[in-house]
């Protein structure tokens, strides 16, 4: 089943690079910033290294009714190191 990837880092961090298809909702705005998203959706929160902000964000969302919220272990940096699909500054330019 598909999941909604929510990047909870700051805008500068998100702008430098993020998982392809990730939505940017900084942790400071949660849960209000995603009030329009169905509480049945599976959500995966992402920060740089996993744990820390993403774990706190997933807990905040679970406590606010998004029972299927989990965090990405290893975070964006592990995703990048595994060379999985992502968007980076300068990607596609020569």
pLDDT of residue 79: 95
Would you place residue 34 in the very low, low, confident or very high pLDDT band (cuts 50, 70, 90)? very high
- With a cut of 70, say whether residue 83 has pLDDT above it: yes
Instruction: Single out the residue of 82, 16, 84, 4 nearest to residue 46, CA to CA.
Output: 4
pTM: 0.91
* Cross-strand pairs, 89: none
Q: Does residue 94 carry a pLDDT above 90?
A: no
- Contacts for 57-62 with beta carbons within 8 Å, 24 or more apart? 57/6, 57/8, 57/27, 57/30, 60/27, 60/30, 60/31, 61/30, 61/31, 61/34
Whether residue 44 has pLDDT greater than 50: yes
């Amino acid at each position: 089943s598909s999941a909604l990837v929510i990047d909870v880092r700051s805008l500068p961090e998100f702008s430098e690079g993020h998982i392809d298809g990730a939505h940017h909702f900084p942790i400071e705005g949660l849960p209000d910033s995603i009030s329009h998203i169905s509480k049945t959706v599976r959500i995966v929160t992402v920060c740089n290294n996993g744990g820390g902000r993403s774990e706190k964000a997933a807990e905040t969302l679970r406590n606010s009714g998004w029972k299927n919220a989990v965090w990405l272990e290893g975070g964006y940096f592990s995703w990048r190191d595994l060379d999985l699909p992502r968007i980076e500054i300068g990607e596609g330019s020569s």
